[in-house]
Structure 1
């Protein structure tokens, strides 16, 4: 029995030691420069309505990157790179999770705007909603936000310029493990991260309530649905698919772009193939 107890204690110490070794680089002082932000008052569009929105499925998880190729908009907090999304027309309410990986002394610091069908802001998810999660043996440290949407059609993610450069200090994972096991605190330095303007995030969408509406409801025109169409496509459908294909390719999501191309062709948008090829060429020219 004594051997068993000692073995358990040894495993606990070993577990703490492994975390400390694997993540020791996290505790280094922050010395990296902040990524450059867009010029003050720079903007691609005059209003949020003019942004290019990526269509979301009822339930999906996707990787999102904000960088200096992302659309720039002049938000209340100042100009920022941004990514914009439109919820599925079948989604009445949804649960959204956004995870931000904290690494190399930096972490993307987002705000999230939730818009109604008229592109009016109904809610803003700020940095206060994002909670820290210390690293363990299976995942790095993260900032995580969970929130629910209702009667929201659009979502825009961007950086809050006013928070850039501010620091986040979280308990070292080895300390978290030691506290969990009731062991002495290791002599390690807590990791420090700076909030930055660009980065990657993981976003998951889960529809919690499906929409119901009559066939002539205006919501049908805000997000074209895959369907057979023997007549000429409406201009707003053409514009929607053109923008969505270009955005998907700009995000290096060729599979999504191909799916949008197939849907567009079924709707009779004959020039979607040319838009796809032009967008692919433009993306290759950037690389």
Structure 2
């Protein structure tokens, strides 16, 4: 039950408070079910910022091109800023997970960037995110880009791999600062069936707090467009105090979604001790 709680809370934190929108990679037309050109992908028009989920199964559109041979999900958006952040989260279910890669194209379907599955990994030390493959990437778009077409896919090489995850009993023991039990860790197989949560944002749109509750602003570091990395920010002392106190108060008040939102912001700002403050506050309520 506790594992389900932590997994659910982690998913809420990853998606943030952006309103979910309807998207689909399910096709009813035989002609569109199997395609060979990127331009034929079923595009879902979305906005920035936003959050949505794709489900991959036997009814998903499949692309077989020189670069991609996989079930695919496509979304398309107009860049509101030159730098765009894209976070992907693939939940593990029944010891199976869709290992995502991401390809970005411009309005003329010219390839801008490919983020391989290594950009979306499993962190056995992040108990808030839980049993997921996840990561956030950033791209600084050419000034000539008027639209971005994004394709989520997997590869035969990734499907042949597995991910070993920490046993929930071990995770709970470590979170409580107890010695973990000697239990074998589960092995999750990679598959072309599963789901992927997507979150779009810009360096100025990640905040989940009301305007009057935001911590003092901090400068955003320059981003190398050729690196698969999230936007980095420099934490200030007053920001650290604000977030640590706010996380504890939110948990104490029973407002876990707000506490998780604060925790995600704190992690984005690279504030030390935020996760420890959250776990301590959770444990103190038991």
Q: 5+ unaligned residues in a row in structure 1: which ranges? A: 1-16, 24-41, 211-287
Q: CA 1:135 to 1:69, structure 2 compared with 1: closer, same or farther past 3 Å?
A: farther
Deviations 1:13-39 (A, max 9, x none): xxxx9559x99xxxxxxxxxxxxxxxx
CA distance in 1, matches of 2:117, 2:188: 14
Q: Which of 160, 176, 184 lines up with 1:189 in the alignment?
A: 184
CA distances 1:141-161 after superposition (whole Å, capped 9, x unpaired): 111110012226111011212
Counterpart of 1:155 (choices 146, 150, 153) is 150
1:98-247 correspondence to structure 2 within 5 Å: 98-134=88-124, 140-151=130-141, 153-208=148-203
Aligned-partner Cα distance in 1 for 2:114–2:79? 21
| Deviation, structure 1 residue 181 | 4.1
Q: Is the 8 A contact 1:97 1:204 kept in 2?
A: yes
Corresponding residue pairs, total? 175
How far residue 97 of structure 1 moved from its aligned partner, in angstroms, is 0.8
What is the CA-CA distance between 1:136 and the residue it aligns to?
8.2
- CA distances 1:38-60 after superposition (whole Å, capped 9, x unpaired): xxxx9833421232211111211
1:95-129 CA-partner distances (Å, limit 9, x unpaired): 11111111201000121101123212221111111
- Whole-Å separation in 1 of the counterparts to 2:59 and 2:33: 13
CA contact (8 A) 2:100 2:120 kept: no
CA drift at 1:139: 6.0
When residues 156 and 140 of structure 1 are mapped into structure 2, their CA distance, relative to the original with a 3 A threshold, is: same
The aligned counterpart of 1:80 is: 70
**TM-score, normalising length: structure 1:** 0.53
Task: Find the residue that maps to 1:49 and give its secondary structure.
Answer: helix
TM-score by length of 2: 0.53
Per-residue CA deviation, residues 179-237 of structure 1 (Å, 9 max, x unaligned), is: 34442221322111000002111111113479xxxxxxxxxxxxxxxxxxxxxxxxxxx
Contact 2:127 2:171 in 1 (8 A): no
Distance 1:136 1:121, change over 3 A: closer
Please tell me whether the aligned partners of residues 84 and 154 of structure 1 are also in contact (alpha carbons under 8 angstroms): yes
Instruction: Please name the residue that 1:60 is paired with.
Output: 50
Task: State the superposition RMSD in angstroms.
Answer: 3.2
Q: 1 or 2, which has the higher strand percentage? A: 1
